Amino acid sequence: MAQKLWDKGKATNEEIERFTIGRDREMDLFLAKHDVLGSMAHITMLESIGLLGKDELPILLKELKAIYALAESGKFEIEEGVEDVHSQVELLLTRKLGDLGKKIHSGRSRNDQVLLDMKLFTREQIRSIAEGVEELFNVLIEQSNKYKNVLLPGYTHLQIAMPSSFGLWFGAYAESLVDDMALLLAAWKMTNRNPLGSAAGYGSSFPLNRQMTTDLLGFDSMDYNVIYAQMGRGKIEKTVAFAMAGIAATISKLAFDSCMFTSQNFSFIKLPDECTTGSSIMPHKKNPDVFELTRAKCNKIQTLPQQIMMIMNNLPSGYFRDLQIIKEIFIPVFDELRDCLKMTTHIMREVKIKENILDDPKYDFIFSVEEVNRLVVEGMPFRDAYKKVGLDIEAGNFKPNKNIHHSHEGSIGNLCNDKIQDLMKQSMNEFTFDKVDNAIHKLLNK
């Protein structure tokens, strides 16, 4: 029995075969259940246009559901000598159903199968990432509100600058995730369009009903132009990679702050003991290894868009095997980002903060701007007030007034966390997760 969908009876050199297949069989295990869902939608559509008999469809659907359950349980395997997930699914069907199993490929190419599988996989992963981001966001907002009145130094150039607060610090990273979510939403909208029916990039002479498969799989719309559907290979992954890189950048910066703020020279926050590691030689050490590794992993994730860009750069329209390599760098990154989100959420929830930090005299000059502003309110021109306070500092005569009052939007005294939460909610509400769930549920229960 043929183990390659394109097999015409001529053997391929073993080394060439090994090289061209690469890690596809390994990566395709992630796509197995999505490949089955795509086939279920496709054959349902084939029956509606007369390319499958009414009696044949339920037989095929029953076997595909069994393969889906196998994939869901983690027991689906791509056998030795079988090229990819598409070949394995068809092989399982033909073993059980004979020639009937061979009918599922009418009107398709492996090109649009891979496109579809990757989109179904990616939108599932985007949902998981979005939920992880939302959970971290909620923890950061909670901590911002809890510690909104606890001051800490703000820095520019790593020099003490102006008063900040833990309310501002936690809230800043929460709002950063709002923008990251907006980019992830844009990636979702591009991903959630149906490429099935574009075949090898030039459509089919069969009267395919592409709207039907779009609806069956819960897509918002389709990639209409069949050439553009194929041009989307790599473009979608790159766009999603940019969205993940944005999230990773936020987490990486938070990890850096946390590492710095836990050091004895700062001592602003304390990580839970169970979240630190020790030294083989120094018994006093409690190292923030989790955040150091998070920082490194997130910085690695930020290289992903460039890697994808370099693989697909300058390719003309049409399919090229170069695009296969994107799978092996793209598919694993979701687990890495999820891990980083999970670790960061846990530690931010349990972190202990230090109060009365600014009582230390070394932070007195942080209040210089407050004094300048007080003089301005009393009627002194800003430039004169600035010069006076500067001269007082140089002469050792500056006495800080630590009773500060910031009231404008987004400041220490007016965090606007409710507005930030509204922005996050708006983005989350635009994801069409329920539509996808309902469509897949109906497809699996046909």
pLDDT 10s digits, 417-430: 999 999 999 999 99
Q: How confident is the model at residue 323 (pLDDT cuts 50, 70, 90)?
A: confident
In the block, tokens 């980002």 appear at 337
Do 84 and 28 meet the contact criterion of CB atoms below 8 Å apart? yes
- Condensed to tens digits (0 to 9), the pLDDT of residues 366-387 reads 999 999 999 999 999 999 999 9
Task: For residue 336, give the nearest of 405, 430, 241 by alpha carbon.
Answer: 241
**Is domain 111-148+164-204+223-358+417-434 in CATH 3.40.50.720, yes or no?**
no
Cα dihedral sign for 12, 16, 17, 18?
A: positive
Q: What is the pLDDT of residue 4?
A: 53
In whole angstroms, give the CA distance from residue 45 to residue 214: 10
Return the pLDDT at 220. Answer: 98
pLDDT of res. 244: 98
Q: SS3 of 270, please?
A: strand
Dump pLDDT digits (tens) for 185-221: 999 999 999 999 999 999 999 999 999 999 999 999 9
The C-alpha atoms of residue 172 and residue 161 are separated, in whole angstroms, by 17
Which residues are bridge partners to 194 per DSSP?
A: 222
The pLDDT of 242-269, averaged and rounded, is 95
Q: Where are the domains of the chain?
A: 14-106, 111-148+164-204+223-358+417-434, 360-415
| Chain Cα centroid distance, residue 97 | 40
pLDDT value for 277: 72
Rounded to whole angstroms, the Cα distance separating 38 from 362 reads 64
Cβ contacts of 236 within 8 Å, gap of 6 or more: 118, 119, 122, 187, 190, 191
- How many angstroms separate the CA atoms of 144 and 176, rounded? 14
Reply yes or no on whether the pLDDT at 272 is more than 90: no
Q: Report percent pLDDT > 70 for the chain.
A: 94
Token representation of residue 120: 């179904």
> How far is 51 from 202, CA to CA, in rounded Å?
20
Strand partners, 414: 411
Q: What average pLDDT does range 269-275 have in this prediction?
A: 81
Q: Give residue 6's pLDDT band: very low, low, confident or very high (50, 70, 90).
A: very low
Greatest Cα pair distance, the chain, in angstroms, is 95
Closest to 27 (Cα-Cα) out of 335, 238, 325, 294: 325
> pLDDT tens digits, residue range 108-161?
999 999 999 999 999 999 999 999 999 999 999 999 999 999 999 999 999 999
Q: How confident is the model at residue 287 (pLDDT cuts 50, 70, 90)?
A: confident
Please name which of 344, 362, 326, 165 lies closest in space to residue 255, comparing C-alpha atoms: 344
- In angstroms, what CA-CA distances link 295 with 216, 248, 288, 343? 41, 8, 11, 11
What is the C-alpha R_g of the chain? 28
CATH of domain 14-106: 1.10.275.10
The two structure tokens encoding residue 376: 């301005």
Q: Among the listed ranges 8-12, 73-77, 86-90, 401-405, which one has the minimum average pLDDT value?
A: 8-12
Instruction: Please write the tens of the pLDDT for every residue from 154-188.
Output: 999 999 999 999 999 999 999 999 999 999 999 99
Through-space distance between the first and last CA atoms of the chain, rounded to whole angstroms = 30
What's the confidence (pLDDT) of residue 288?
78
